[in-house]
Amino acid sequence: MRDKLLRGVLIPLPTVFLDDGTVDIKAMEEIVEFYVGSGIHGLFVNGSFGMGPAMSTEQRKQVAELVANKLNGRLPFIVHCGTVDVYSAIELTAHAKSIGALASALLPPYYYSDHTEYEIIEHFRFVAESVDMPLMIYDNPKYSGIDMGVGRVLKIKEAVPQIRAIKLNIMTNEKALSYIRSLPEDIAVFPTVASSLLASYPRRFDGYMNPPTCHVPELQAAYWNAVDKEDWKGAATYHWKLSEIEDVITQLWQTNGRAPFKEAMKLRGLPIKMFPRWPIMDLTEEQLNTLYERHKDVGTEEFIGNRFVKL
């Protein structure tokens, strides 16, 4: 098997802000440091969870540089450089390479979801010919409006050998499995659904990234390590814990948007003022207690001490 670009838990790094929408530098430095010692294997910067498409090009560069400087080589990081137009994607990819990113992640050119297949392939090829670095396809049909599919990804890979990884946004296990059955072995495949790791045995995904549980990276790392070592009893337990946490986050997401993500990070004592980068409806006291109690019920003491920060 050819060497993979990366294996393990790739955390989608949240970008947090001050009330005026500027990046909260101090909080971001603390968040990056929070992840360094958690046992995870890399950071995914400026993705959907990282508010990349909601920031200006200069802000995206600012966050990427902050991460590179704070990590100082301690963890690899991938920068999402997807944009509506290919020229901005090239600019962001060149910047990502200049600061030492492992790869540039690219959505297909979103918003204009009527792009032809030729245009989608050319988008990736233009970036690859302009900047010589590994690329990750970011398959996110919900937000991009473009469903990539295995066949299209194979065509992109044929035209763009620099494709070395793919991130699969929320999709069924069966659809996710179709990627590892069909893609070349030099492409690392990262689903976002935790159950995919168990469903893919023995072929194996190369890691995963799960935004709803990124505030418990220690638990994600423990789950990955158990699967990797074929400790199925431990893996089943960690999967249950992650699924329970993801379930309560998702339920609250349906009524309050991304507010539960903000509150989950605050449960870890992280100084979050504004997340996401738009107005949200805060959780009620009852909802906050529901969030807290679910974490308490599944037993997270093994990873984060005797309790979360008191609400």
**Where is average pLDDT lowest: 55-64, 112-121, 138-147?**
138-147
pTM confidence score: 0.94
Res 304: pLDDT: 52
State which CATH number among 3.20.20.70, 3.90.76.10, 2.40.128.640, 3.60.10.10 fits the domain covering 8-304. 3.20.20.70
Measured at the alpha carbon of residue 152, what is the angle toward residues 52 and 94, in degrees to the nearest 5?
Answer: 40
Evaluate if residue 80 carries a pLDDT over 60: yes
Evaluate if residue 220 carries a pLDDT over 50: yes
What CA–CA distances, in Å, run from 244 to 40, 63, 295?
Answer: 20, 31, 8
Helix (H) or strand (E) holding 27: helix 25-36
Evaluate if residue 311 carries a pLDDT over 70: no
Measured at the alpha carbon of residue 174, what is the angle toward residues 163 and 108, in degrees to the nearest 5?
Answer: 35
Show the 3-state SS of 107-140.
CCCCCCCCCCHHHHHHHHHHHHHHCCCCEEEEEC
**Residues whose CB falls within 8 Å of the CB of residue 284, separated by 6 or more in sequence, listed in order:** none
Mean pLDDT of 214-232: 94
Measured at the alpha carbon of residue 155, what is the angle toward residues 118 and 10, in degrees to the nearest 5?
Answer: 110
**Where is average pLDDT lowest: 48-62, 72-86, 157-171, 190-204?**
190-204
The per-residue pLDDT of the chain, averaged, comes to 92
Looking at residue 16, the DSSP 8-state letter turns out to be: -
Contact 166, 205 (CB under 8 A): no
Evaluate if residue 169 carries a pLDDT over 90: no
Backbone dihedral angles phi then psi of residue 41, each to the nearest 5 degrees:
-115, -5
**Residues whose CB falls within 8 Å of the CB of residue 105, separated by 6 or more in sequence, listed in order:** 44, 47, 78, 79, 80, 81, 82, 135, 136, 137, 138, 165, 167
